[in-house]
């Protein structure tokens, strides 16, 4: 299977033209924590649109993050989940009304419209909507298309050339087992797409997944021939299991992955750990930042970098001691920066934030304790 996948990667790569090279651009700092624009600058623009990625880059993100799902015709598009009712205007398109359905994704029954039931051309007729309108407003709804990984790479390459600095791309493969089971596996296509663009043949790229088996497969496929591409193991709630483990009836939980032994195993196929914030610094009984766990220390001991998710500036998401007033939608920028700096003090090597300008401020004004 691996040999045929490699052949697919090689063939697909040969058919694409090249884009801007990253080799002459100012590289990412190697000794400074990295700021990752989570779904772009999703606190300020509808997530996973070029406008969101543009804002992230303008605001100083080192990396931009596309989450990837597949269309019916196998295109890789940037959405946080394959159900698109929550983040597009698909419900307002009568021509797609009959495609509303209920599916079981990673063990959860979900009702809505699903990317794998649409061609790329059909998805291009939709427009993005804000996921959290009650917190972030709707000023940009209806303006922006769903975009492909190809388009995002071209955009990042053009922005990098215009700004004279490298912009990393950190795609996450969403619901890997689900798409594999539906004949729409994304892993080889992601590699082929990266290989097809001159920019991503040299620029920093990190591929993320909440699953384990596909990262191990990617590790094998990459071998030692793509030094610019790293792999990141995401972890979720301690008692949950990765989708591939769940599908195989396995017992491995994220708590086991986050143990010292589990992290040493992760380091055999990935270079970076992406835990949730609360796996690094949990909240105490007062909903304030508590004491750091052993995860950063154990991950570093295993040779892994640590890049947790996700810092968000609204009161609703902040620890109680970092909020301003009680209104959930109030942005408390100083509180968010203070929260990020607590994590920098705890030793993280980078982080995902919905508001990269605040992430940039947190890193640029921080000194290692």
Chain positions 9 to 68 lying near ligand G3P, rule: CB under 6 A, are 38, 67
SS3 161: helix
- Residue 282 and residue 232 in contact, taking contact as beta carbons nearer than 8 Å: no
**H-type alpha helices, the chain:** 2-14, 50-58, 120-123, 133-136, 149-163, 176-181, 187-196, 198-202, 213-222, 243-247, 254-257, 260-266, 277-280, 295-302, 333-345, 356-364
Per-residue interface string for the shown chain with Ca ion, residues 17-56, x marking contact by CB under 5 A: ----------------------------------------
Smallest distance from the beta carbon of 274 to Ca ion, in angstroms?
A: 8
Under rule CB under 6 A, residue 193 binds ligand G3P:
no
The entry of Ca ion, ligand G3P, none near residue 352 (CB within 5 to 8 angstroms by kind) is ligand G3P
Q: Which of 90-98, 169-177, 251-259, 266-274 is the region at the interface with Ca ion (rule: CB under 5 A)?
A: 169-177
Out of 235, 253, 310, 353, the residue judged to bind ligand G3P by CB under 6 A: 310
Under rule CB under 6 A, residue 208 binds ligand G3P:
yes
Under rule CB under 6 A, residue 79 binds ligand G3P:
no
- Residue 141 and residue 163 in contact, taking contact as beta carbons nearer than 8 Å: no
What is the separation of C-alpha 202 from the centre of its chain, rounded to a whole number of angstroms? 20
Per-residue interface string for the shown chain with ligand G3P, residues 163-182, x marking contact by CB under 6 A: ---------x----------
Instruction: Choose among 308, 256, 331, 349: nearest CA to 31.
Output: 349
Rounded Cα gap, residues 49 and 313, in angstroms: 20
- Residue 171 and residue 198 in contact, taking contact as beta carbons nearer than 8 Å: no
Out of 309, 317, 343, 351, the residue judged to bind ligand G3P by CB under 6 A: 309
- Given the complex with ligand G3P, which of 155 and 210 has the nearer CB atom? 210
Q: Which helix (H) or strand (E) holds 104?
A: strand 101-105
Under rule CB under 5 A, residue 172 binds Ca ion:
yes
Rounded Cα gap, residues 230 and 232, in angstroms: 7
Smallest distance from the beta carbon of 109 to ligand G3P, in angstroms?
A: 19
- Given the complex with Ca ion, which of 130 and 354 has the nearer CB atom? 354
Under rule CB under 6 A, residue 234 binds ligand G3P:
yes
* Contacts with Ca ion, residue ranges (CB under 5 A): 67, 172
* Contacts with ligand G3P, residue ranges (CB under 6 A): 38, 67, 80, 172, 208, 234, 274, 309-310, 352
């Amino acid at each position: 299977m691996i040999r045929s996948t490699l052949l697919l990667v090689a063939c697909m790569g040969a058919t694409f033209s090249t884009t801007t090279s990253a080799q002459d651009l100012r590289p990412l700092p190697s000794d400074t924590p990295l700021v990752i624009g989570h779904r772009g600058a999703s606190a300020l623009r509808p997530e996973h649109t070029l406008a969101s990625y543009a804002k992230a880059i303008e605001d100083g993100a080192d990396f931009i993050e596309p989450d990837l799902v597949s269309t019916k015709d196998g295109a890789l598009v940037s959405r946080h989940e394959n159900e698109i009712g929550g983040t597009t205007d698909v419900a307002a398109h009568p021509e797609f009304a009959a495609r509303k359905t209920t599916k079981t994704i990673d063990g959860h029954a979900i009702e809505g419209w699903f990317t794998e039931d649409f061609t790329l051309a059909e998805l291009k007729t939709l427009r993005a909507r804000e996921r959290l309108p009650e917190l972030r407003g709707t000023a940009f709804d209806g303006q922006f298309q769903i975009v492909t990984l190809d388009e995002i790479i071209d955009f990042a390459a053009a922005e990098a050339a215009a700004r004279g600095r490298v912009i990393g791309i950190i795609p996450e493969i969403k619901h890997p087992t689900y798409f594999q089971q539906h004949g729409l596996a994304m892993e080889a296509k992601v590699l082929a797409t990266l290989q097809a663009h001159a920019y991503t043949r040299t620029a920093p790229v990190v591929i993320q997944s909440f699953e384990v088996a596909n990262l191990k497969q990617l590790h094998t496929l990459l071998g030692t021939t793509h030094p610019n591409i790293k792999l990141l193991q995401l972890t979720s709630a301690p008692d949950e299991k990765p989708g591939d483990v769940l599908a195989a009836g396995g017992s491995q939980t994220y708590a086991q992955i986050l143990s010292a032994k589990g992290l040493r195993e992760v380091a055999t196929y990935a270079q970076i750990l992406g835990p949730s914030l609360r796996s690094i610094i949990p909240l105490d009984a007062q909903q304030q930042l508590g004491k750091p766990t052993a995860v950063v220390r154990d991950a570093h001991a295993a040779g892994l970098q640590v890049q947790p998710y996700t810092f968000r500036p609204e009161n609703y998401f902040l620890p109680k001691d970092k909020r301003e007033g009680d209104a959930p939608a109030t942005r408390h920028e100083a509180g968010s920066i203070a929260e990020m700096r607590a994590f920098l003090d705890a030793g993280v090597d980078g982080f995902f934030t919905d508001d990269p300008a605040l992430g940039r401020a947190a890193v640029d004004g921080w000194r290692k304790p």
